[in-house]
Amino acid sequence: MRIELISRRLRQQPGLVVRTETLAPDEITHIATLPVTTRARAAFDLGRHLPRGEALARMDALMRSMLFSTEDVLLLAKRYQGARGIRQLRELLSLVDGGAASPQESLLRLAFIDAGLPTPTTQLPIVDSHGYLVRIVDMAWEEFKVAAEYDGQQHQTDRYQYRKDARVLPKLARMGWSVVRAFREDRRADVAAEVRAALISRGWKP
């Protein structure tokens, strides 16, 4: 885990990333008397400095844990319009979604978007005809009744989760939902292709 600081006096060392950048007073706040960047400035830096997929995953996580205004981030982009990575930041800000529950879900959603699929709704609750909650799916295209679920390690090692999936997924199928499951070992491009085929079969026209 890296610690990142903005400073003109410190030097790089293992586990510490030092950036010599401009930091305005209104981009600093305090947590337990410790000076830290504001949420908007943190998002501004994450979106510029990290590789594209990781940047989106980190900004999703930031949005999920503590809401930030993308407009405030865009104002910073305007303030520092010559800074490195601004183009990537602007692109990713339009894709940030606090509904992503894990970095892998963020990367999978980005793979869908890159493949030209419609942007999915995250954490969509699906209820039965009696109004009872059946499942909150990771991502879904409600109009076409297609959902995508990322099955992490806990889905395979947690007996309770395994039994729950075994009961719920067939019920979703009976309700007319097509659920594409993605596993850690899967290529995201392959999962995107499977979702694409499911959407087309349900009437989506690319």
pLDDT computed for residue 152 by the predictor: 74
pLDDT in tens, 23-51: 999 999 999 999 999 999 999 999 999 99
Residue type, 203: G
pLDDT computed for residue 157 by the predictor: 59
Q: Is residue 206 part of a domain?
A: no
Q: What are the mean pLDDT values of the chain's consecutive 10-residue runs (206 residues total)?
A: 79 83 94 94 97 98 95 97 95 97 97 98 96 96 97 64 79 96 95 98 96
Total tally of structural domains belonging to the chain: 2
Q: Is residue 84 part of a domain?
A: yes
Q: Same structural domain for residues 108 and 74?
A: no
Question: Does pTM top 0.85 for this prediction?
Answer: yes
In terms of residue numbers, what domain contains 72? 3-93
